[in-house]
Amino acid sequence: MSQAKLNKILLYSLVAVCALWLIIPFTMAILWSLVDPTKPWTADKLLPPVMSFYRWQYLWENSSLQQAMINSYTLAPTAAVLALVLATPTAFAFGRLSFPGKSVAQTLALLPLIVPGFVTAVFFTAFLFRLGFAHWRFGGIVLAHCVLFMPFAVRIMTVSFETVRQDHIDAARDLGASTCQRWKVAYLPALKPGVFASLLIVFIYSIEEFAVAFILGSPDFVTIPTLLFSQMGQDFVRPNAAVLSLILVVPNVFLMLGLEKLMRSANPALASGKG
C-alpha cells in the first residue's frame, strides 16, 4: 500500500474518531441546553421532543449567572492588566540586560506553574487568613490570578523585548529622540503583539481558573467555572450545566484562536503558548 493511500485511510479514520470525540459530545451539550422543561428528553427519544431557549432565559434571570459573568469578566481584565504591568519590568531585565544568575531567575519565575493549583489556592487562602484579609475575595483572587499566570506574561514579554532591534534604538537616539520617543518608535512596534498576547493569555486563563476562585471565593463570590461546578454537584440539572458549559467554552474558543494568531505574529516559536 502506498504512503499516500495509507495517509488517506488514516486521515479518514482519525477524522471519524475526532468527530465522535468532539462533535457528538458538543451536539449533546447543545441539545441538552435546548430541552424544554414541559417535555423531558427521555432515553427512548433520539432528539428532545420540545426545544426552546427556556433554560438559557431561566438561568439568566434566576441564577447567579449574571453575577458570575460580571465577576469573571471583571476579574480577568484586571488580572491581565496587573500581570502585564508587573511582568514588564522583569521581562525587560530578562530580555535586554545581562546579569549574573539570570537563568536561575528565569527558572524561578516559572514557580507558579510548578506548584499544584489547589495547593496554591488552599494555602494562599490560609495566608490571607493570617493577614486578616480572608474576606477580601475580589482582591485576593485578582492577586492570585496575577501571580499564577504572570510566568506567561513574563515569558512572552521577554521574547518581545529580545526582538527589539538595537540598531533601531541607536538610530532613534542618534536622531535626537528622547527616552520616551525612543520607546514609542523603537520598542512599542516590536512589543505590541507581545502586549496583546500577554493580556489575552492571562485573560483566558483567569476566566477559566477554578481552584483559587473555588477555594477563596466560595460560597459568596461566584465565577463561571465555580457556578458550573456547583451545577454539576449535588444539584446536578443537566440542561442547566449544558447552558453554563457552552457559555464557558464558546467565547474562549474564539479568544484562543485570536491568541494563536497573535502568538504567531509575536514569535513563531511561541505559537499555541508553548514556546
Partner 1 sequence: MDWRKSAQVVLLLLPGLGLILAMIGSVLYIAVAQSFGYYNLTGESGFSVEFWESMLDRKIYNRSWRYSLYIGFFSAIISVALAYPLAIWLRRPFAGSDVIGALLKAPLLVHGLVAAFLFINVVSYNGIFNQFMQGIGLWDGPRRLQNDQNGFGVLILQVWKQMPFALLIMIGSVQAISDDVLDAARDLGAGAFTRFRRIIAPLSLSAMQAALVIIFMGAVADFSFQVIAGPTNRQSLAQLMVFFKENGQWNDAAVVGVTLMVLALLCAGLLALTARIIVYGRIR
Distances (CA, A) of 97 to 106, 120, 173: 13, 31, 18
Handedness of CA 27, 29, 32, 34 (dihedral sign): negative
Nearest approach, Cβ of residue 175 and partner 1 (Å): 25
Task: Please list every residue from 91 through 110 that binds partner 1, using CB under 8 A.
Answer: 91-93, 97, 99-100, 105, 108-109
Task: Please list every residue from 201 through 220 that binds partner 1, using CB under 8 A.
Answer: 208, 210-211, 215
In this structure, what C-alpha cell is assigned to residue 165? 532591534
Check residue 53 and report its DSSP letter: S
| CB atoms inside a 10 Å sphere around CB 158 | 22
Q: Does 5 bind partner 1 (CB under 8 A)?
A: no
| CB atoms inside a 10 Å sphere around CB 183 | 15
Nearest approach, Cβ of residue 116 and partner 1 (Å): 3
From the list 72-80, 162-170, 178-186, 241-249, the region that binds partner 1 by CB under 8 A is 241-249
Cα distance between residue 269 and residue 275, in whole Å: 5
Residues touching partner 1: how many (CB under 8 A)? 78
Task: Please list every residue from 27 through 66 that binds partner 1, using CB under 8 A.
Answer: 28-29, 32, 42-43
Nearest approach, Cβ of residue 176 and partner 1 (Å): 24
Own/partner pairs, 207-210, CB within 8 angstroms, 24+ separation? 207/72, 207/73, 207/76, 207/248, 207/251, 207/252, 208/248, 208/252, 209/117, 209/145, 209/148, 209/149, 210/117
Q: Does 180 bind partner 1 (CB under 8 A)?
A: no
Given the complex with partner 1, which of 176 and 219 has the nearer CB atom? 219
**Under 8 Å CB-to-CB from 117, ≥6 apart: which residues?**
148, 209, 210, 211, 212
Given the complex with partner 1, which of 186 and 247 has the nearer CB atom? 247
Given the complex with partner 1, which of 14 and 175 has the nearer CB atom? 14
Q: Does 120 bind partner 1 (CB under 8 A)?
A: yes
Q: Does 79 bind partner 1 (CB under 8 A)?
A: no
Q: Does 16 bind partner 1 (CB under 8 A)?
A: no
Q: Does 199 bind partner 1 (CB under 8 A)?
A: no
Given the complex with partner 1, which of 60 and 92 has the nearer CB atom? 92
Helix (H) or strand (E) holding 54: helix 54-62
